[in-house]
Structure 1
Amino acid sequence: MNLSMMSHDQAHAAPQPQDLQTPADRYQELFQAVQLQRVFPDSKTFVDCVPEEDPAQILAAYREQCTRPGFDLSGFVHANFAVPEVYASHYVSVAGQPMREHIDGLWDVLSRQPQQHPPRCSLLALPRNYVVPGGRFAELYYWDSYFTMMGLAESGRHDLLRAMADNFAYLIDTYGHIPNGNRTYYLSRSQPPVFALMVELFERHSICEAIGYLPQLCKEYAWWMDGADTLQPGTAHRHVVRLEDGTLLNRYWDARDTPREEAYLEDVVTARQTTRPAAEVYRDLRAAAASGWDFSSRWCDDGNLSSIRTTAILPVDLNSFLWKLEQQIALLSRKAGLTEQSRLFQRREHARREAVDRVLWDNADGVYRDYDWQRQRSRGMLNAAISTPLYVRMASKQQAGLTAEALRTRLLSAGGIETTSMLTSQQWDKPNGWAPLQWLAIGGLRHYGLEDLSEDIAHRWLCTVSSLYQRESKLVEKYVLESTPHGAVGGGGGEYPLQDGFGWTNGVTRRLLHERPAHAANHARAASA
């Protein structure tokens, strides 16, 4: 839906143009000093701070004062910036509250209003209210929101669903793509392209007709495929890679090759652990953030994060989502009477499916695998992304059956589907389990009639989430899937502490509870003390 297609009430709220400088661009050596000297324990804090006056004046004052004897950097920052607060306690339920009611009550807690955006901060303006994941994540996130939306629908919050639809359409119309999140420092990358799946969800719940989003779907597709038409065999450009035989597939990418601003010191430290060019490491770290799997052995050569090579990898899930986007554009173009465009995208979806079958399907082992296009070989490690072709219905019946067997025998744990088969200190690895990966497996298996395993995963995940809820009265970002004597525990690893809230856990769990009214998790209640 273009802004011109919005109602009068929606259109008048369209944000005004804003300064899109990132905090690193804006504050320059002040930014580096704050991040490298660890003024805040969490690197994300400073990039989310709100300047008390014009940023140029703050930078000028810093330059004038920083060389004075006894200059206090922390004092300067706190005098010139409002520090964001993280209200973790807001996500803890009242004693005895059923889990379903807890989730329904969280949507307003997790909602943000654009009119409350402070000026001159890193937030990108949006026309409508939106839902954030929670904890340190106080902005809209792209692929998180798809899974959150499923819970909004089951909670009857069509007001927020419609607002989110308008927001994502606005982002594509304004920036040409959906950024990782609505922050200036996220503009250089996107996340797994699930807008086509969102559009189906909007139509299924009578929020709006999918055909109204055809212009945005085409625009997002053009952004992901930039440079594909002139790409020579054996080369890559941004998100597209053409193999030596002419096959075209996609990878994750970020337009910048500097440390992530929200994890500046962490990235600098990682780059120092290798002899590789720092810019190359930074690009691969950023690309992994674009994947949503930040971080995982999936992108690395060994257990060390400095060996990360995300841009060398053609991922199963990304190419599945783009196949779905091509299929959706072909279908809606046909409905719109755009016959030639429909035929073009039918050819593209057929070509990608053939490429996925040939390059990303391991026929000998009966599983999908990511592919290292630089080394021209499949990646050996198994991960939960193998269910994505089933979720978008790209797999054949035989492939679905073999994938189900791999999920059951190699990734199924006591609490659900493990993220990867490798145990590491990274959060997107074993032993952690994540709500979106459970849902992709549950839904994908169901699409092919593999109900027994689908229901088994759903049961295990609901038991995991409800176990921790009954003990700690909250839902969290990720969970350890292995059994413990005290029940489920929150996941670990990664660059930051476990976050409470939590958007996509709420969304997936609420949908599963709705579909299974007789499941014991519907009777799970918050701890009495």
Structure 2
Amino acid sequence: MVRKPDLGNIEASARKRLKLPMFLCAPVLAALLCANAPPSPADQFGDLFAAVQKEHVFADGKTFADAVPKRAPDAIMADYERAAPGSSAALRAFVLDNFVVPGVNDRPLPPLREHIRALWPQLERRTPNVPPGSSAITLPAPYVVPGGRFREIYYWDSYFTMLGLVADGRDDLVEGMLEDFSSLIERFGHIPNGTRTYYLSRSQPPFFALMLDLSRATDGTIRARRLAALRKEHNYWMAGEVCATTAEACKRVVRMPDGSVLNRYWDDRDTPRDESFAEDQATAAKASTRPTGEVFRNLRAGAESGWDFSSRWLSDPHDLSTIHATDVVPVDLNALIWAMEKRIEKGCRQAGDQPCTREFGQRATARKAAVQRFLWHAKQNRFADWIAPSSRPSKVVSSASLFPLFVGMATPAQAGAMAKATRSTLVADGGLRTTTVRTGQQWDAPNGWAPLQWVAVEGLRRYGHNALAQDIAARWIGTVNCTYLETGKMLEKYDVEERLPGGGGEYPLQDGFGWTNGVTAALLDRYPTLGPAATFQGCSPADRSGTTPRP
């Protein structure tokens, strides 16, 4: 009697030998065995393959099916089964660590520094004329835009972009952008948020004074014109000085309880922002007990801060409709205006203008005293925003507290306390956190932003905390480099806790990206050992060697 083969045992044995998934039906298995055909990607990578396709990690399902494993499939699957990625982003990172994916990470990338140099011409723009009816504002000289949806020049972005332009020898663009900003102040009395008509009712963190430090212009006429523009910008920020009282702020000026003067963010309009019209209306609708104009004004003020949006401006950190940015006296804004006043004092002294020298010396002295009195939180040994209606410091711990170190208005003891607080609360694996709270807003944890890394590094260096400064720089450059190797892009913001692209906010993550390029270039010049040959924590072994780029 001829015994029939036990197909069940054969099937089980084949599954075990070939490591085939259980969902593969017996007829298909038999066909594979009979044809002696190699397993397909779905057969070979089972649960991993299914997860990648179900999560739509790649827009085209064929993309992952055509991927080539970088190492033995058994080893890849063992790692996957040991700790399956818990999110789509982590799953994508796992795939890119372990596979060469066509059209994604199969093309060699230039070193990070070379990539940045190549981006400047792509981000350069000119708008000497605009079509009738356009929202764009003309500018006399070439300039650099951030990238992505940001197709115009932005105020505070540009300082950090200029850092990279200086590092790359593009003084022509630096001088051109200073010409553009001087022109804007002369025409409108201030530098708007960006060069669109819908941005004219507000400004942004005032970095023009610090931009002038980057200029190599020696022509006396140019210098005099720029000093005049700087004084005009100061007038813009102080326009509310004549009407502010201790009971009520006026425009961008807050009179503190002792009568001293500090500044806040504001917007001259109380309507929905043109660029976020529907979003602002929806936010105001949630705040049913507040006048809509009040909500719109505060959303606009939050936009003027550049931190749009953050728990710094919210009564309830998880509810944007509780925004009260106009109630906040921000530490970063007042540090920057102090730096502006000091530079006006210096410029007037060099010009022989004694009344101006005296006035701005007194203004800077008075502002520094007010910052020390109201924005230094002695009980917690940190700088903090001031909440005007309640006359108390903000509970939000943020990277803005490092601005007094950045401009040089902190005492050595305060700098030491801030260094300690920064190390214990704000430093993450991949750089400096923006705040310590997670709200879903983009200017909160876990995000980190290029300008805040530079402010921290330079502020700490100024006061001799060099090891912490370099540590923050190394963590940040590692995050930028690893993400560049994975995506081929320079991004607007990053998740510095997971060392991934950042999230949150009103719009999708943007690439380009002006201030990330600038700060990265400047930090790599400051710390050459952080270049491509360095070891970057958080990248795959191949990436750490600097030889095998990811997408």
Residue in 1 aligned with 2:97?
none
Q: Distance between the aligned counterparts of 1:520 and 1:430, measured in 2?
A: 27
Q: Distance between the aligned counterparts of 2:247 and 2:548, measured in 1?
A: 56
Q: What is the DSSP-based 3-state SS (H/G/I as helix, E as strand, rest coil) of the residue aligned with 2:532?
A: helix
What amino acid is the match of 2:211?
Answer: M
State the aligned residue count: 433
Q: Does 1:262 align with 2:275?
A: yes
- TM-aligned CA deviation for residue 518 of structure 1: 2.4
Q: Distance between the aligned counterparts of 2:163 and 2:218, measured in 1?
A: 13
- TM-aligned CA deviation for residue 234 of structure 1: 1.9
Once the two structures are overlaid, the 10-residue window that deviates more, 518-527 or 137-146, is 518-527
Q: Distance between the aligned counterparts of 1:468 and 1:324, measured in 2?
A: 34
Query: What are the Cα deviations for residues 176-200 of structure 1, in whole angstroms up to 9, with x where unaligned?
Result: 0000000000000000001000011
Q: Distance between the aligned counterparts of 2:339 and 2:181, measured in 1?
A: 18
Once the two structures are overlaid, the 10-residue window that deviates more, 436-445 or 519-528, is 519-528
Residue in 1 aligned with 2:365?
350
Query: What are the Cα deviations for residues 343-380 of structure 1, in whole angstroms up to 9, with x where unaligned?
Result: 11111100000000000001111001100111111111
Q: Distance between the aligned counterparts of 1:359 and 1:224, measured in 2?
A: 19
Residue in 2 aligned with 1:298?
312
- Determine which of 376, 391, 408 is the counterpart of 1:393: 408
Q: Does 1:272 align with 2:278?
A: no
Q: What is the DSSP-based 3-state SS (H/G/I as helix, E as strand, rest coil) of the residue aligned with 1:493?
A: coil
- TM-aligned CA deviation for residue 525 of structure 1: 7.0
Preserved contact between residue 190 and residue 203 of structure 2 (Cα < 8 Å) = yes
Q: Which has the higher contact order (CA 8 A, sep 6+)?
A: 1
Q: Which has the larger radius of gyration?
A: 2
Preserved contact between residue 147 and residue 504 of structure 1 (Cα < 8 Å) = yes
What amino acid is the match of 2:251?
Answer: R
Q: Does 1:196 align with 2:218?
A: no
- TM-aligned CA deviation for residue 231 of structure 1: 2.9
Matching of residues 173-212 of structure 1 within 5 Å: 173-203=186-216, 210=223, 212=225
Q: Distance between the aligned counterparts of 2:200 and 2:389, measured in 1?
A: 27
Q: What is the DSSP-based 3-state SS (H/G/I as helix, E as strand, rest coil) of the residue aligned with 2:259?
A: coil
- TM-aligned CA deviation for residue 517 of structure 1: 2.1
Distance 1:399 1:342, change over 3 A: same
Matching of residues 456-475 of structure 1 within 5 Å: 456-475=471-490
Q: What is the DSSP-based 3-state SS (H/G/I as helix, E as strand, rest coil) of the residue aligned with 2:481?
A: helix
Q: Distance between the aligned counterparts of 2:302 and 2:489, measured in 1?
A: 28
Preserved contact between residue 161 and residue 207 of structure 1 (Cα < 8 Å) = no
Query: What are the Cα deviations for residues 95-117 of structure 1, in whole angstroms up to 9, with x where unaligned?
Result: 33111111001111111111474
Q: Does 1:289 align with 2:311?
A: no
Q: What is the DSSP-based 3-state SS (H/G/I as helix, E as strand, rest coil) of the residue aligned with 1:285?
A: helix
Distance 1:445 1:490, change over 3 A: same
Q: Distance between the aligned counterparts of 2:485 and 2:218, measured in 1?
A: 35
Residue in 1 aligned with 2:460?
445
Q: Does 1:213 align with 2:226?
A: yes
Stretches (4+) displaced over 6 A: 205-209
How large is the RMSD of aligned CA atoms in angstroms?
Answer: 1.8
Preserved contact between residue 369 and residue 378 of structure 1 (Cα < 8 Å) = yes
- Determine which of 518, 522, 536 is the counterpart of 1:507: 518
- TM-aligned CA deviation for residue 233 of structure 1: 2.5
Q: Distance between the aligned counterparts of 1:167 and 1:215, measured in 2?
A: 14
Residue in 2 aligned with 1:527?
549
The TM-score, its normalising length taken from structure 2, stands at 0.76
Residue in 2 aligned with 1:95?
108
The TM-score, its normalising length taken from structure 1, stands at 0.79
- Determine which of 271, 292, 310 is the counterpart of 2:325: 310
- Determine which of 399, 407, 412 is the counterpart of 1:384: 399
Q: Does 1:337 align with 2:352?
A: yes
Q: Distance between the aligned counterparts of 1:225 and 1:93, measured in 2?
A: 55
Residue in 2 aligned with 1:23?
none
What amino acid is the match of 2:135?
Answer: S
Percent of pairs with identical residues: 49
What amino acid is the match of 2:185?
Answer: I
- TM-aligned CA deviation for residue 424 of structure 1: 1.2
Residue in 1 aligned with 2:45?
none
Q: Does 1:432 align with 2:432?
A: no
- TM-aligned CA deviation for residue 452 of structure 1: 0.6
Q: Does 1:147 align with 2:160?
A: yes
Q: What is the DSSP-based 3-state SS (H/G/I as helix, E as strand, rest coil) of the residue aligned with 1:475?
A: coil
Distance 1:409 1:527, change over 3 A: same
Query: What are the Cα deviations for residues 254-274 of structure 1, in whole angstroms up to 9, with x where unaligned?
Result: 000001110000000001111
Query: What are the Cα deviations for residues 465-510 of structure 1, in whole angstroms up to 9, with x where unaligned?
Result: 0000111111100000113xxxx31100001100011000000001
What amino acid is the match of 2:124?
Answer: S
Matching of residues 359-374 of structure 1 within 5 Å: 359-374=374-389
Residue in 1 aligned with 2:420?
405
Distance 1:272 1:197, change over 3 A: same
Residue in 2 aligned with 1:58?
none
Q: Any gaps of 5 or more consecutive residues in structure 1?
A: 1-91
Q: Distance between the aligned counterparts of 1:347 and 1:93, measured in 2?
A: 61
Preserved contact between residue 513 and residue 522 of structure 1 (Cα < 8 Å) = no
Q: What is the DSSP-based 3-state SS (H/G/I as helix, E as strand, rest coil) of the residue aligned with 2:343?
A: helix
Q: Distance between the aligned counterparts of 2:458 and 2:407, measured in 1?
A: 9
Distance 1:407 1:342, change over 3 A: same
Q: What is the DSSP-based 3-state SS (H/G/I as helix, E as strand, rest coil) of the residue aligned with 2:464?
A: coil
Distance 1:435 1:98, change over 3 A: same
- TM-aligned CA deviation for residue 248 of structure 1: 0.9
- TM-aligned CA deviation for residue 93 of structure 1: 12
Query: What are the Cα deviations for residues 133-163 of structure 1, in whole angstroms up to 9, with x where unaligned?
Result: 0000000000000000000111111111111
Residue in 1 aligned with 2:123?
110
Residue in 2 aligned with 1:421?
436
Distance 1:145 1:206, change over 3 A: farther
Q: Distance between the aligned counterparts of 2:280 and 2:136, measured in 1?
A: 22
Q: Distance between the aligned counterparts of 1:134 and 1:168, measured in 2?
A: 19
- TM-aligned CA deviation for residue 94 of structure 1: 6.7
Q: What is the DSSP-based 3-state SS (H/G/I as helix, E as strand, rest coil) of the residue aligned with 2:133?
A: coil
- Determine which of 324, 327, 336 is the counterpart of 2:342: 327
- Determine which of 150, 156, 159 is the counterpart of 2:169: 156
Q: Distance between the aligned counterparts of 1:449 and 1:210, measured in 2?
A: 32
Q: Distance between the aligned counterparts of 2:547 and 2:167, measured in 1?
A: 19
Query: What are the Cα deviations for residues 45-77 of structure 1, in whole angstroms up to 9, with x where unaligned?
Result: xxxxxxxxxxxxxxxxxxxxxxxxxxxxxxxxx
Q: Distance between the aligned counterparts of 2:201 and 2:302, measured in 1?
A: 13
What amino acid is the match of 2:412?
Answer: K
Q: What is the DSSP-based 3-state SS (H/G/I as helix, E as strand, rest coil) of the residue aligned with 1:437?
A: helix
What amino acid is the match of 2:171?
Answer: H
Query: What are the Cα deviations for residues 265-286 of structure 1, in whole angstroms up to 9, with x where unaligned?
Result: 0000001111211100000000
Distance 1:396 1:179, change over 3 A: same
Q: Distance between the aligned counterparts of 2:143 and 2:526, measured in 1?
A: 25
